[in-house]
Amino acid sequence: MADDPLTELLSLAGGPLGGDPSAAVAEFAGRHGPSLAAMLDHMNGFYAFESALHVFPSGTSDRMSLELWNAPDLWRRDYDVLTAGLVFFAEDVFGGQFALSDDGVGVFDPETGDVEAIAPDLSSWAAVVMGDYDLLTGYPIAHDWQVLHGPLVEGERLVPKLPFVTGGAFEVGNLYASDAVEGMRARAHLAIQIRDLPDGTQITYRIVE
């Protein structure tokens, strides 16, 4: 059991973010529901790698929950059909979403709406994260930013001033702390503009108030 990647990942977590998860969580994520429920039974939501990785808790009422984060009227509606068939259970420091689908676990890019498959199941996802957490969580930049600006507040992610997809640098100076929901909503407008556009098309990025 000590060699199990999910157990190893949970051993690095800062502690549960919620009490008992919702009894309905096993039905919430399709075929991945039982394994998601098992993970949240062990630790119901957590931050790891200096808050770079955030796993949503289930069934909480005093903080952002798995159920609320996936509500269609929170931020998903701003992405139109780009989030269809996905259950978002965790995020990296930039708000890149780890998503469950019939195909396995993927990373949803908030700037483009693209999904990159990275693992067939949650255990494999944990192994991939543990194998390359610098890249998959943004840990080095999260560390450097917090050294300069102080710890991220719960519910905040680091959003680029100039989006990465338009040439913005993965550097501390190009990042600001944003409420996670507002960060997703702002970049949804970018993703909607980008889809189906030929390379080189001029686009406009704006912050949604």
User: For residue range 130-144, what is the model confidence (pLDDT) as tens digits?
Assistant: 999 999 999 999 999
Lowest mean pLDDT among 2-11, 118-127, 138-147, 175-184: 2-11
What per-residue confidence (pLDDT) applies to 27? 82
- Look up residue 125 and give its two tokens: 């996802």
Q: Is the pTM of this model over 0.75?
A: yes
Instruction: Report which secondary-structure segment, H or E, holds 193.
Output: helix 180-194
Q: Are 115 and 203 in contact (CB under 8 A)?
A: no
Range scoring the smallest mean pLDDT among 61-70, 118-127, 150-159, 199-208: 199-208
Centre a 10 Å sphere on the Cβ of residue 142 and count the other Cβ atoms it contains: 24
Type of residue numbered 192: I
CA dihedral for 114, 33, 76, 48, sign (positive or negative): negative
| Averaged pLDDT, 39-45 | 94
Q: What is the mean pLDDT of residues 87-97?
A: 98
- What is d(CA 95, CA 101) in angstroms, rounded to the nearest whole number? 18
What type of residue sits at position 46?
F
Domain residue limits, the chain = 5-194
Q: Residue 3: pLDDT above 80?
A: no
Q: What are phi and psi of 84, to 5 degrees?
A: -60, 135
Phi first, then psi, for residue 67 (nearest 5°) are: -65, -45
Mean pLDDT (whole number) for 81-90? 96
Strand, coil or helix: 3: coil
Q: Report how far residue 168's alpha carbon sits from residue 26's, in angstroms, rounded to the nearest whole number.
A: 39
Evaluate if residue 75 carries a pLDDT over 90: yes
